[in-house]
Chains A and B, each alone.
Chain A
Amino acid sequence: MVKYFKDILLGFWTIMVGMKITMDHLFQKKVTMQYPERFDPIDTGFMPDNSRNKLFVDIDDCNGCGGCERDCPVNCITVETVKTVPSDGPITIKSGAKRTLWVLKHEIDYSKCCFCSLCVESCATSAIFHTKEFDYSGYDRNELKHDFVSYSDEEKQKKLDNFVAYQIVKKQEDAAKKAADEAAKAAAAQITK
């Protein structure tokens, strides 16, 4: 019987305690951040420097090594490259190193990307990095694929053609060189004989 009344009083008391807590909170400062109007992350630099949001590829700085493509755990990066040819002249990437590959396609599929930052780690020239943009969307799945290469199709085709043409030239040159070498060798052998 004592426990019965004790339980009732305890129940009543704990409910009162709870009601006092919620009443206190009724007049406390609110913590909600009104998102589009007040958005600390960008305005005040609240978003940390290493925050992992939308990726960006500085294609002038990309040497087309394909490291990001290999290191991506979800295969969201597609890199297509073609070799440079001597007729392109001496070209470098932004950071000064010699460019040996034209990047014809560097596509990131954001619908697949898991923002793990492994591609950023693997990039030797820091061409791929995270931006602070995170709210992007599209009406179609294909709109979330972003190709960072700005060459037109003709330019790409031209680069491919250049390469193919250079391959043929090089083949001939190689063949000629080989023939010359062999001839020289034969001549040398003749001489030693």
Chain B
Amino acid sequence: MGNFVFDLIGKNIVAALVICIIPLVFILPYALIAILGELKIGAWMQDRVGPMRTGWKGVLQPVAEVVKLLQKEDITPTIANKPLFNLAPFIVFIGAFAAFAVLPFSEKFIPSGINLGLFFVFAVGSFAVIGIVMGGWASNNKYSLLGAMRSVAQIISYELPAGMVFLSIATIAGTLDMQTIILNQSGPIWNWYIFGGPQGGAIKFLFIPFFVILFIVYLISSLAETNRTPFDIPEGESEIVAGYHTEYSGMKFAMFFMAEYANMYVVSAIIVILFLGGWSSPFGTSFMDGPIWGIFWMVGKAFFFVFVQIWLRWTLPRLRVDQLMYLGWKVLLPLSIACFMAIAFLAMIN
């Protein structure tokens, strides 16, 4: 546990800056890869070949798209509220970026090893909604307003089941510190929380169904929090054009775009940390384990869930607002509360 940058160059301002920059250095290439993945996987699932012109088999397509967005005219509607309009994309991006402060990448590197990691992620996760409302309201566009309103309702209702999931894990792990949660799950693969957690004996099998349900609950609510299909109603392009970012163009649109992809990684990383052992190797502590392999496992597992999100996007239709609320309040929340109570009870008798 800890931060190897501090070990390396001491606790000074340079080290602090380096630590700030490392997630950004990660996000930019990651966003490019994720965009390429979205384009290519989407195309392959639809029997297409996807972009093929830029670079070998089109691998440079995301770079081209970013360059295109950079040179595009930055349009601000004349009747928009300019300060809010300009500020909104950055706030949305900050919300996604701040979560990286507590996301561990390996045993040896976590930008800030605070012991309220899960709580912090939860808190800054709701930060984005302010940016979205600002953007939607300041655009002075009816479609944007509708999108922003939908987004608020959606993110707020899906934070509750997500919160219950966090709570359940915190109950069983006894901490909100991500590194400790991961350390709890280190060792063989059946120590992961989705397989019942580190405790042994028959009671382990009682835990499994509840953890699996919680896992699915969190997977669904994470989709809703990142505005991905089937919960992309705030930007549902067939209904309200592009939702809250209808009026954005150029770099500001790119910020929204990047925030979405950064958020995808954040929620995938949380899933991995909570249920799939974070950076710990599935082969136990003896094989392919260690700080460097830790980065591989952490990012690799998270990328798998990014893939799942892309996969779902190209499979499912979109929900309607009231159905979204139904699913959030009447299905996910009771399920997660029931699982939380069951797990708390089991943890007590364990």
Chains A and B directly touch (beta carbon < 8 Å)? yes
- Asked if A32 contacts B48 (CB within 8 A), the reply is yes
- Assess whether A30 is interfacial by the CB under 8 Å rule: yes
- Assess whether B54 is interfacial by the CB under 8 Å rule: no
B residues less than 8 Å from A25 (CB atoms): 44-47
CB contact list, A1-45 vs B, under 8 A: 8, 12, 15, 18-19, 21-23, 25-32, 34
B residues less than 8 Å from A8 (CB atoms): 331
Proximity string of chain B (105-140) to chain A, C-beta cutoff 8 Å, 1 when within and 0 when not: 000000000000000000000000000000000000
Q: Can you name the residue of chain A whose Cβ is closest to the Cβ of B44? A: A26
A30 partner, pick from B47, B314, B331, beta carbons under 8 A: B47
A residues less than 8 Å from B311 (CB atoms): 19, 22-23
Interface size in chain B (residues, C-beta < 8 A): 16
CA distance A5 to B52 in the complex (A): 45
B residues less than 8 Å from A26 (CB atoms): 41, 44-45
B residues less than 8 Å from A27 (CB atoms): 44
A residues less than 8 Å from B314 (CB atoms): 22
**A interface with B by C-beta (< 8 Å):** 8, 12, 15, 18-19, 21-23, 25-32, 34
**B interface with A by C-beta (< 8 Å):** 41, 43-49, 52, 216, 311-312, 314-316, 331
B49 partner, pick from A19, A21, A23, A34, beta carbons under 8 A: A34
CA distance A19 to B313 in the complex (A): 10
A residues less than 8 Å from B44 (CB atoms): 25-27, 30
Please give me the 3 A-B residue pairs with the lowest Cβ-Cβ distance, nearest first: A32-B49, A22-B45, A18-B315
Q: How far is the CB of B304 from chain A (nearest CB, A)?
A: 13
Q: How far is the CB of A26 from chain B (nearest CB, A)?
A: 5
CA distance A22 to B49 in the complex (A): 15
- Asked if B45 contacts A15 (CB within 8 A), the reply is no
CA distance A27 to B44 in the complex (A): 7
- Asked if A30 contacts B49 (CB within 8 A), the reply is yes
